[in-house]
Chain A
């Protein structure tokens, strides 16, 4: 498809388990962003990539969270030892460049529920 694709759309996992969330950006977009949206809140920035490297990971809440983008396209957000507080919708966005004036296109998100 032409838009940002995120899989799975829903993920239920048990507390303590490891999960991976995948993002396929729009083809040709060099910048990729991860956000987390908790219930009743706006999206919160986690990390952004310019190409293969993480340009800013200041939003990652702790060392249980990690993200990669090995070939500069698809990205995976990895969460270790999940906790109930990690339950949220995880949003991915991509843009042509990393300039603040370039439009970011969002995927539909992955709803993560930790039970």
Chain B
């Protein structure tokens, strides 16, 4: 079984400032890692994913995340946020053994202010 912890339920940040959204996971097996974004009144959209290879993963909208196996973390970062980045962000994991069953964290609400 896997679990995902997103310690920050809300992160306020000013426009053009950098941001980091934290994600830690726990699993007894190898996992794939994902970040999804949910804009108001929209479905979940995949931002980026780590499957294998380079631990630094780049996604859409200028976001990137780094997989750290020793710290079991997959923090999401953006060097300069925009008002349009205001949304709920979910970290998720799935078992590499098969199936696309995702285990999600509780989400982090990113609020970008002027």
Contacts and interface: CB of A to CB of B under 8 A. Distances in A.
Interface of A: 3-4, 31, 33, 35, 40-45, 48, 55-56, 59, 91, 93, 95, 98-109
Given A99-B98, A103-B46, A45 B106 contact: no
Interface residues of B, number: 28
A95 B42 contact: no
A45 B103 contact: yes
Contact of A43 (B44, B45, B51, B94): B44
A45 B1 CA distance: 12
A100 B102 CA distance: 9
A45 B93 CA distance: 12
Contacts of B105: 42
Given A91-B43, A102-B100, A106-B44, 17 more contacts: A4-B43, A33-B102, A40-B106, A41-B107, A42-B4, A42-B104, A43-B44, A43-B102, A48-B101, A98-B99, A98-B100, A99-B98, A100-B32, A100-B94, A100-B96, A107-B43, A109-B43
Given A41-B106, A43-B90, A43-B104, A48 B99 contact: yes
B102 A45 contact: yes
B78 to A, nearest CB: 20
Given A43-B44, A108-B41, A108-B42, A33 B101 contact: yes
